[in-house]
Structures are given as C-alpha cells and as structure tokens.
Amino acid sequence: MTYRAGDQPNNALSLNVFEPGEIASTAGTSGVVYGINGEISYDPKSRVNTFAHVNHKTGFNRLGILLCINGAGILNAWTKRNIVSDGTSYEKMNEIASQAPIGSGGVSVLPFGNGAERVLENKDYGCSFHGVNFNIHNRSHLLRAAQEGIVFSFKYGIEIMEDMGMPVNKIHAGNANMFLSPLFRDTLAGVTGAVIELYDTNGSIGAAIGAGMGAGLYKDHNEAFASLQKIRVIEPKASDMPVYDEAYRRWKSYIQE
C-alpha cells in the first residue's frame, strides 16, 4: 500500500493543499472547510476537529482542521423541490435567486435541518426562515437567503478556525455542487474576504495522485500536479463586503438568541 487517507484529506490532496494556511472546501449535501495548520492546536469544544494531514510526520507538523456543516447543499435541494418544484433547473434557480439583493431583503435562513451540528456544540437548531414579510418578499428572496444561509454557516465555522490561528485568505474547491452557483461563490468570497479558486479535479483523482506519489511514480511534487487545471478565480468585491457583513451579523443573531 502506497497511500491511504480519509475523504477530506484526500480531497485536499486533489486540490494541491499541503501547506499551512491553504484551505480546501466542498459543498455537497453537507459542507466542509478543511485547512492546514503547521502548529498543534485544537478546539476545546470539538466544534471543529484536528487530524494528521497526508504529509504530516514527526518534526514536520501538517495538521488538517476540519469544519463540517451537515445542512448545506441539502437545503438548496429542498428549496428546489418545494419552492420551485416545477422542474426548474439549478442554473435557473440561481438566476431567480440573483434577482434578490445581497442580504435577501432582510430574510435569513438557518440551514441546520439535517440534524445536530458539531459546530453548534451538537445542538439541533433545525432549519428556519426569519424576517419574511408577505408584502415584499417572493421566492427570489427565499432562494437567495437559503444559499446565503449555507455560506454564513461556513463563515461561522471559519471564525473558529481563525481563532485557532489559521488564516483563511484563499479557498481551493472543485468545480462541483454548490460551487457551480455564482451566487454561492460570490457570497463566500464576500463574507470571508477570501479568494476562491476553482479546479477541475475530485477526490478520486486525488487518490490516484496520492498513490502515485507514494509509489514514487513522480520525480517531484510539481510533476504530480502538472495536470491540475485552475478553472476560475473569484475575488471578493470590496464594495459589497460591508453589505455581506451586515447580513451575516443579522443571520448570526438568530443563533445567539
């Protein structure tokens, strides 16, 4: 055996995430932010977890800090079935959501309807919609608020990671699932201030590369990742960041009540 790893360390490998400060993310049914730390640290409340990364060894600390949000893309799928249940595609649903302004006109959605969340100290908040006004809000506001709520849950966990000494300035992700949504990507960049880099890769490719590296099939690290293709870079817009921050603070207040 030349290589073995769990799904998230393996996904990080596929995105060439090895060094302190580098971040990998996925956003399928559940959502994950996985960052590399060069120092031994942990969250005393176990809201995020620390693992040995694939290149960790004695005297060379490379630890993965794992944030997992149970209620992520599953909320987006739920809104598709129940708010636009007429066969509308995800692409069209994203277009409808983008008709609402940043902050969804005051609507906030807690996306935690997939069970208890470790990041919330194993509390089960459920999914809930807040601030809906029947006279001014429509499905575009609800759809946008759902995607913003997923991103804001990422931000909530990222703040814990940052408190552990891990800066989040750049996020690597595969071009799949929620990262196919421009609204999702822009919101994540806007509320975190991080640059989002999308790549044409996945975990199975990472497993193959890891096995090849372990077997010595590549002459060096650069050769192992020579075929990794960057598809898109999303930069946060400075003018939008205060609006995202206001929406996030409102969203966060519903957790702290």
- 140-177 tens-digit pLDDT: 999 999 999 999 999 999 999 999 988 899 999 999 99
41 backbone φψ class: left, alpha, beta (φ>0; ψ -120 to 50): beta
Name 183's Cβ contacts closer than 8 Å, sequence gap at least 6: 94, 97, 98, 144, 147
Check: CB of residue 140 under 8 Å from CB of residue 100: yes
Q: Rounded distance, CA 25 to CA 70, Å?
A: 14
Q: What was the pLDDT predicted at 126?
A: 96
Mean pLDDT to the nearest integer, 116-123: 96
For the segment 119-137, the average pLDDT, to the nearest whole number, is 97
Q: Write down the mean pLDDT value for the chain.
A: 93
Work out how many domains the chain is built from and give that number. 1
**Cβ 152 vs Cβ 130: under 8 Å:** no
Beta strand 108-112 with 23-27 is unpaired
For the stretch 203-242, pLDDT in tens is 788 888 888 888 888 887 888 888 889 999 999 999 999 9
Residue 1 has pLDDT above 80, yes or no: no
Q: Give which of 147, 152, 146 is closest to 119, Cα–Cα.
A: 152
Contact, 63 vs 48, CB < 8 A? no
Sorted by sequence, the CB contacts under 8 Å of residue 87 that are 6+ apart come out as none
How confident is residue 202, by pLDDT bands cut at 50, 70 and 90? confident
Higher-confidence residue of 101 and 5: namely 101
**Which residue range forms the structural domain that includes residue 103?**
1-257
Using 50, 70 and 90 to split pLDDT, how confident is the model at 257? low
Return left, alpha or beta for 87; rule: phi > 0 is left, psi -120 to 50 is alpha, else beta: left
At 118, the pLDDT band (50, 70, 90 cuts) reads: very high
What are 230's strand-pairing partners?
199
Confidence (pLDDT) at 98? 97
CATH at 133: 3.30.420.40
pLDDT at 218: 84
The H or E element that residue 221 is part of is: helix 221-224
What residues form DSSP beta bridges with 117? 123
Q: Are 128 and 254 in contact (CB under 8 A)?
A: yes
Cβ within 8 Å of residue 149, ≥6 positions away: 75, 108, 109, 110, 111, 251
